[in-house]
Amino acid sequence: MDKKTIHLTLNGEAREWRVYPNELLLNTLREQEFLTGTKYGCGIGECGACTVHVNGAPRLACLTLALACEGADILTIEGLARDGKLDAVQEAFLGQSAFQCGFCTSDMIMMTRALLNENPQPTETQVRDYLRGNLCRCTGYASIVRAALDAAEMERQETA
């Protein structure tokens, strides 16, 4: 199979990728861009570890063909902080120590960011529901949910 050339935006910067037709976005991010914050968990769409944003919506990079990202705007955990300032979700995860091994942390943060973009003031139930496809083996989720609610409150205060 021959590689194809695609053009896209990655973490705010223009990119040209040469990808195989069957190449997964997850592999391109990790092996071509060396952005290893996006994790390879199950590889079959069941754990959420590979969550990135594509055109502003959360997407499982293990189920996304890189070739399908022609013209897309992709955001990974490495692009979330801006101008040296962490995103409120990142700050809140630090504040709540919402991680143990850290393997799920990138995807939990990216998923929480997507939730707050859609719904800036979610309830605890809404947070748990939105994150239900993202698995954590370590924390029991309580600190992650608290972090999501903290981030929402931090952003509410910033805009008040």
User: Please, which of residues 91-120 interact with ligand FES by CB under 6 A?
Assistant: 99-104
Token output for 111: 């998923």
Q: Which is nearer to ligand FES, 12 or 140 (CB)?
A: 140
Distance (Å, whole) CA 46 – CA 40: 11
Residue in 45, 56, 71, 120 binding ligand FES, rule: CB under 6 A: 45
Write the burial class of residue 133 (CB in 10 Å: 0-12 exposed, 13-18 middle, 19+ buried): middle
Nearer to ligand FES, 78 or 155 (CB): 78
Residue labelled with tokens 């590689």? 3
For ligand FES, which is the closer residue by CB, 13 or 53?
53
**How many residues sit in the footprint of ligand FES (CB under 6 A)?**
22
Q: Using the rule CB under 6 A, which residue among 6, 29, 47, 75 binds ligand FES?
A: 47
What is the helix (H) or strand (E) element at residue 153, kind and residue range?
Answer: helix 142-159
